[in-house]
Amino acid sequence: MIAAQDCVTSALRTLLHKQPLSTGKVRLAWDVTVGRSMARVTCASLSAEGVLAVHVPDPHWAREIYRSTGLITSRLNLLLGNGVVKKLDVTIHTPR
C-alpha cells in the first residue's frame, strides 16, 4: 500500500517538473514543503545562484527553519529539481 502523502508528492513533482522555474513555482513548492502555518508567516524567494532567501517575523521561526534546513532543502529539490536550492538564507524581518 502506498501512503496518500507519497502519491500527492509524486503527482505534484511530476506536474512541477514540466513547468519552468518561476516565482509561483517556488512559492507553491515552499508552501507544500513547510506547511500552512510556516508558509503563512514566512516569505521565500529563490536567487539565480540557488539561494533561497527566507524572511521570518521573529527568532522562533528562524530557529524552526534552521532546525529543519536539511529536510526543507531536500523536499524543495524533490519538487523543483535536483540541486536547484543550494542554500537557505534566513532573515528576521520585523514590520515597522
Question: Closest Cα partner for 38 from 69, 74, 4?
Answer: 69
Grid cell locating 79: 519538487
pLDDT of residue 14: 86
Cα separation, 81 vs 45, whole angstroms: 16
pLDDT bin (cut points 50, 70, 90) of residue 17 is confident
Q: Give me the architecture of the 4-92 domain, per CATH.
A: 2-Layer Sandwich (3.30)
Model confidence at 96: pLDDT above 90: no
pLDDT bin (cut points 50, 70, 90) of residue 13 is confident
Residue 78 burial class via C-beta count within 10 angstroms: exposed 0-12, middle 13-18, buried 19 and up? middle
pLDDT tens digit sequence for 25-60: 999 999 999 999 999 999 999 999 999 999 999 999
pLDDT of residue 94: 74
| H-only helix segments in 1-96 | 4-17, 23-34, 36-41, 59-67, 69-80
Q: Is the pTM of this model over 0.85?
A: yes
